[in-house]
Amino acid sequence: IVLTGGDDRLWKTWGFPDGNILLTGEGHTDWLSGCCFRPSGTQLVTSSGDTTVRIWDLSRHGCTLTLRGHSRAVRGCAWHSCGDFVVSASADGTSKIWDVNSERCRYTLRGHEDSVNSIEFLPFSNTVVTSSADKTLSLWDVR
């Protein structure tokens, strides 16, 4: 299964080798910039130009949580390996650590001087790496 998101505001899961669309999700009001499966495979996270991050339940075929807090487009998102936290990177120059269980932002990471364009947790760690239009990479200890 492959997960994609695009300018059409939709995310889609595709089965291979046939290339059939298995599921489609709609709800964002602008382009999708990122999408990622939860490590357990039961949910996914999407980020969008509409400034939101959304959590989707694959068995319910719908959005279960919309995370708001960025003031500009969200450029990327990722899950922590434990599945309890999501990170987001935004054109507003910040990144956020979201606690999915409490449904709130735990931390806002500030330090880049321009848009934060990508974000990832290092595998099985509490370290986040971000890249920015300010031509820097940053490592963050988010414990």
Where are the domains positioned within the chain?
A: 32-141
Strand partners for 17: none
What's the confidence (pLDDT) of residue 9?
97
37 DSSP β-pair partners? 44
Superfamily of domain 32-141: YVTN repeat-like/Quinoprotein amine dehydrogenase (2.130.10.10)
Q: Would you state the structure tokens that stand for residue 118, as one six-digit string?
A: 């990508």
Provide mean pLDDT across the span 87-103: 98
As a whole number of angstroms, the longest Cα–Cα distance in the chain is 45
Model pTM?
A: 0.94
Do strands 85-90 and 74-79 pair parallel, antiparallel, or not at all (unpaired)?
Answer: antiparallel
Does 111 have pLDDT greater than 90? yes
Range name among 23-32, 54-63, 132-141 with the lowest pLDDT average: 54-63
pLDDT (tens digit, 9 = 90+) per residue, 71-86? Answer: 999 999 999 999 999 9
| pLDDT for the residue numbered 12 | 95
- Report pLDDT digits (tens) over 32-71: 999 999 999 999 999 999 999 999 999 887 999 999 999 9
Per the CB < 8 A criterion, the answer to whether 135 and 117 are in contact is no
How confident is the prediction for the chain on average, in pLDDT? Answer: 96
| The pLDDT of residue 59 | 87
Contact 140, 130 (CB under 8 A): yes
Q: Kindly state the average pLDDT of the residues 95-112.
A: 97
Tell how strand 74-79 and strand 62-68 pair up: unpaired
Residue percentage of the chain with pLDDT more than 70: 100
pLDDT value at 115 more than 80 = yes
Pairing of strands 2-5, 116-121: unpaired
What per-residue confidence (pLDDT) applies to 61? Answer: 75
